[in-house]
């Protein structure tokens, strides 16, 4: 999309959507009170507000390559700062980690040696923070075809981030007191459907009318459908 289209969109937003929702934006100018922290990938095909049909002010969003959350104690982590703000300042009640089908980060992770020279920063990011997912997948599913392996990697990566979230003291405390719930989701681009991890069955199931909260502690074991 050329920048001219972006600018035209800005004008359209101001002249139409903003004008008809002026009261909402006036309220938002005084502060925010989202109840959900939505963690997802930087991929341009993923729009958290679009797929959840959320209004401005309803989601607090963290995005990066591969929807990765470094474990607690990682120095100078922007993700950790965002989590701290969401928990302490906004009193978030639910955290969603949402991966997606055809994830380029997970494709790169499974062939990480090819990234070292072409995209060294992406290589460093995945090598440092996604190695547990890579090892789990390659060690336990050695004979799977590439397409199936990618699906498993996408799912296991989401479960790993849930486990990483549980290393944060504030999150563990609120999980223990029932003030916070974690959710592991996969958004399927080609169908528009969302699958949620059900820890009782060890599978991602189509999210229909109810969520599958992830109990604490989570044991992320992939199971064949």
| Contacting residues for 141 by C-beta, under 8 A, at least 6 apart | 148, 149, 152, 222
Q: Is residue 9 in some structural domain? A: yes
Which tokens hold the place of 210?
A: 């109810």
**Predicted TM-score of the model (pTM):** 0.91
Averaged pLDDT, 196-217: 79
Residue 225 has what pLDDT?
38
**76 and 6 co-located in one domain:** no
Q: Are 25 and 57 in contact (CB under 8 A)?
A: no
**106 and 126 co-located in one domain:** yes
Q: Is residue 83 in some structural domain? A: yes
In a 3-state reduction of DSSP, which class is residue 220? Answer: coil
Mean pLDDT of the chain: 92
**72 and 173 co-located in one domain:** yes
Could you give the CA distance from residue 146 to residue 125 in angstroms, rounded to a whole number?
A: 22
Which tokens hold the place of 70?
A: 């470094």
Q: Are 62 and 84 in contact (CB under 8 A)?
A: no
Tell me how many domains the chain contains: 2
Could you give the CA distance from residue 36 to residue 59 in angstroms, rounded to a whole number?
A: 5
**89 and 134 co-located in one domain:** yes
Q: What is the pLDDT of residues 166-181, one digit of tens each?
A: 999 999 999 999 999 9
**74 and 109 co-located in one domain:** yes
What is the domain range of residue 8? 1-31
């Amino acid at each position: 999309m050329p920048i001219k289209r972006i600018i035209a969109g800005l004008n359209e937003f101001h002249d139409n959507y903003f004008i008809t929702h002026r009261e909402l934006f006036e309220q938002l100018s005084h502060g925010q009170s989202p109840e959900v922290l939505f963690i997802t990938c930087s991929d341009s095909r993923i729009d958290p507000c679009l797929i959840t049909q959320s209004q401005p002010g309803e989601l607090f969003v963290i995005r990066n390559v591969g929807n990765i959350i470094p474990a607690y104690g990682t120095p100078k982590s922007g993700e950790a700062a965002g989590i701290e703000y969401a928990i302490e300042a906004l009193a978030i009640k639910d955290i969603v980690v949402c991966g997606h089908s055809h994830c380029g980060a997970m494709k790169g992770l499974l062939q990480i040696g090819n990234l070292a020279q072409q995209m060294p920063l992406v290589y460093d990011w995945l090598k440092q923070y996604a190695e547990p997912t890579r090892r789990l997948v390659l060690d336990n599913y050695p004979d799977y075809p590439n397409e199936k392996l990618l699906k498993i990697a996408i799912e296991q990566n989401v479960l790993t981030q849930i486990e990483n979230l549980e290393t944060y003291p504030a999150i563990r405390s609120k999980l223990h007191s029932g003030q916070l719930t974690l959710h592991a989701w996969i958004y399927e681009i080609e169908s528009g459907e969302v699958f949620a991890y059900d820890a009782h069955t060890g599978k991602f199931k189509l999210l229909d009318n109810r969520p599958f909260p992830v109990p604490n502690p989570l044991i992320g074991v992939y199971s064949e459908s």
